[in-house]
Amino acid sequence: MKLRLESTFAWRWLLCAALGLLWLGAIGAGLGALAWYDNAAAAPQEFLAEWPSGSAIHRSEQGKTLVLFAHPRCPCTRASLGELEKIVAHCQGTIIPWVVFFKPDGAEPGWEQTDLWRTASAIPGVHVLCDVGGHEARRFHVTASGQTLLYSAGGERLFSGGITFARGHAGDNAGRAAIEAWSTGSPPGYRETPVFGCPIVDTTEPE
């Protein structure tokens, strides 16, 4: 009887230990997946060296033009808009900022006018544009929300990349630093940074 009780206790202890290890493994896997998601950048793109023709976005011929492409329902983009607000405040009129919101063909009226649209519209000096069908995104070879492009008055691309250091995380980052450096006439030693945001369009699709 005593041997049977000891055997049962040992079996239960082993079962609890195994379940505990499985539980810890599941937690570790979940945390790892979240970390991977936060730090997973969009696939690198071949961006145009010059401002594309036919765009509905008006490029400034006196100063630099910044264009941030956004998906109006991408939660990661809130951090990008927060960083954009800091850039606008720092640059003090030396950069003309645009936020271009994607809207799929056939979407109902007002589909794009989410709280992100209202946040962008409230930033002083920002021009907000609705990109129906993603034509502007394709024109600029942009595929991810949060992609930010900076152009000179002559149309040369000075910078392309994200302005957050991870998905949905605001704070000091290389993208914002690069744009602020360009605004003061001090080009940084790099022109691209990773983009952390939800997909907008597939630029390989035909117009």
C-alpha 188/C-alpha 108 separation (Å) is 43
Q: Which of the 8 DSSP states describes residue 160?
A: E
Q: Which helix (H) or strand (E) holds 77?
A: helix 77-91
Q: What is the pLDDT of residues 86-145, one digit of tens each?
A: 999 999 889 999 999 999 999 999 999 999 999 999 999 999 999 999 999 999 999 999
User: Is residue 187 very low, low, confident or very high in pLDDT (cuts 50, 70, 90)?
Assistant: very high
Domain ranges of the chain: 1-39, 64-183
Q: Is the entire prediction scored with pTM above 0.75? A: yes
pLDDT for res 207: 46
pLDDT value of residue 170: 84
Domain 64-183, CATH: 3.40.30.10
Q: b/e map of 169-180 (b: 16 or more CB within 10 Å)? A: ebeebbbbebbb
